[in-house]
Structure 1
Amino acid sequence: MTTRRLRRHAHTALGALAPGAAARWATSVFSSTRTYGLRPDDVLPLGAAHFTVHGDDHVTDGFTWNEDGGQGSALLVHGWAANSSSMHSLVPSLRELDLRVAAFDGPAHGVRKGDQATMTQYTHSVGAVLDTLGDVRVVVAHSLGSIAAIGAIAAHTGHRPQCAVFIAPPATLGDVLERWDGAGLRLTRPLIEGIYGELHRRNGVPVSHWDLTGLGASLDLPTLILHDPDDPMVPYTDAQKVAAGLRNARLADRTGGHAGILMNHGTAAAVSRFTAQHLAAGDGPHPNLHREGIV
């Protein structure tokens, strides 16, 4: 019997005896940050330098390219169960705009300790990086990282970015949960409701809070949505919902699936063109509030 089938049988038995414990177990499986493999080696990416992140217990550092860029910073935010390396294909075209490009591994992602995280933690980490850099002109986020990014931007009290790009974004965390295959667990409606409750407990807010258009409702932020109409993980209708729900957003199609879209040269080109348009329309780079903290 495979490990997946053993887990399914064990979880089904637990659900009959202790539904609360079964919901906690299922929530931990849903929240896993190591779905696609083990922690990568902690090595400095080619051409990058380390920087220190202030104000967050889960993310203490990140990487920058083109440290002396004169147009402010571009911040890359990876998706769930991925890491900063998934965004590296976007670095060259943003560097060409004279931007300092920053990326980091989210809580319990990449080189971080642990294999569990919450959206609350991830959103706080994005906010801490925004504060640390101080001069972010554009945020580019993938998948669930888009919800963390919009939440952090909306809560940010410093200089806000001039634009954002969300690549293959889900509309809500609830949509992600409702589509989840259970990773081998037998999902029932009572179990799903138990996961909703446990996620509320762990995050401190209900699952309904993690709504991209709801979090971004007050923002007049120029936003580009890039999505593959044939994305097998996040349906195109999510992108349409996000584009329609934000105040200043447009949707463009790219191919490559959910993760491969990041490697599509057309994706990098679209990110670069959109960013360049809004850099030109802006008022120059913002002051770097924590420049002395970049090491």
Structure 2
Amino acid sequence: MASLSTIRNVINAVSYVSVKAAGGPAWKLFHGAPPRTPVRPEQREVHDRAEQETLTVAGREIRTYRWGSGEKPVLLVHGVSGRAANFAGFVAGIEALGLTAVAYDAPGHGSSGGSTCTILEHGAVMTAVQERYGDFHAVVGHSFGGTSAYLAARRGLVTERLVSISSVADFGSLPDTFCGQLGLRPALATELRRRTELFFAPERDVWNRFSADHRPEEITARILVVHDENDREVGVDQGRRLAASYGDRAELLITSKLGHRRILGDPEVIGRVLDFLKD
């Protein structure tokens, strides 16, 4: 299999001849799920003691995990290239509060089927998990999982509290961010926007309507936004924008030197989230 750097160089080279032609492989990278990541050794004990089930959502088998008696479920939603086990550090604390931790491997991730995971596919799975386990006391989402949770909440997902960690507020920033991270030419971001709009049709105005800060009055849950000032994948300005849009209903925690992924395992972050989940 060609390396990512080789694929990037080929896409960029083709784009000088035809941006539309280069947009095909760029779209596959942008739209497709990344390589699946294994359960890390430090996550294994928590992962293995979960009660696991399989739900069929839109024809794909989705692996779910539950820790606890079922009372007051707290849904944990991972981001791109993640899996449910990424929240292993939260589980014991959630159980200690008398709550039930529930999670799933998103489509194309972990032990679930599929090869793509869009914001609408995330939302469909959240709805199916709620139908199986009951209305959520809280939803905790990391990165794209958090962004997806805001849209799901506006479209009927029931939750009293919503925590987003390292999440994008502006859905429209994703093509530019993606191209910047991979080193693709800016012209390809425009092509990705075009293909995204075609893909989601007949949904309209997706760049605004799929943003986490769109129509904040439609979400009644209390909100905690957590973001690291050294996040190189999603800038801290996204977290500040997200918290500001929800005004007095939102709390903002800015951390330092944790980046985009290590933040999920930080004891102080976990403690702050658990405090927010208390009745």
The 3 A distance-change label for structure 1 pair 213 and 187 is same
- 2:102 match: 102
Report the alpha carbon displacement of residue 184 of structure 1 after superposing the two structures with TM: 4.7
Q: Which has the higher strand share?
A: 2
Deviation at 1:202, TM superposition (A): 2.2
CA RMSD in angstroms comes to 2.4
CA distance in 2, matches of 1:215, 1:107: 27
1:123 aligns with 123
Q: CA deviation at 1:186?
A: 3.2
Matches within 5 A, 1:128-277: 128-156=128-156, 160-181=158-179, 184=182, 186-189=184-187, 191-204=188-201, 205=203, 206-214=206-214, 216-247=216-247, 248-255=249-256, 256-276=258-278
Q: Is the 8 A contact 1:126 1:148 kept in 2?
A: no
Highest relative contact order (Cα 8 Å, sep 6+), 1 or 2? 1
The Cα shift of 1:20 comes to: 2.6
**Deviations 1:142-186 (Å, cap 9, x if unpaired)?**
0111111111122126xx211111111111222232222456553
Are the counterparts in 1 of residues 60 and 114 from structure 2 also a CA contact under 8 Å?
A: no
2:25 maps to a residue whose letter is W
Q: Does 1:84 align with 2:84?
A: yes
Q: Say if 1:54 and 1:135 are closer, same or farther in 2 by CA, change over 3 A.
A: farther
State the percentage of identical aligned residues.
22
Q: Which AA in structure 2 matches 1:232?
A: R
Question: Alignment length, in residue pairs?
Answer: 268
Structure 2 counterparts to residues 57-68 of structure 1, below 5 A: 57-66=59-68, 68=69
Distance 1:252 1:212 in 2: 17
Partner in structure 2 of residue 287 of structure 1: none
Q: Match for 2:48: what amino acid?
A: L
Q: Is the 8 A contact 1:56 1:128 kept in 2?
A: no
Whole-angstrom CA distance in 2 between matches of 1:240 and 1:183: 21
Deviations 1:216-252 (A, max 9, x none): 4411210011111222221111111000112511101
For 1:263 and 1:219, the matched residues in 2 are separated by 28
Amino acid at match of 1:62: T
The one-character-per-residue Cα deviations of 1:35-87 (angstroms, maximum 9, x if unpaired) are: xx44537x992321013436543353301001x254x1010000112111111
Q: Which runs of 5+ in 2 are unaligned?
A: none
The one-letter amino acid paired with 2:210 is W
Match for 1:166: what amino acid?
S
Q: Which runs of 5+ in 1 are unaligned?
A: 281-295
TM-score (norm 1): 0.82
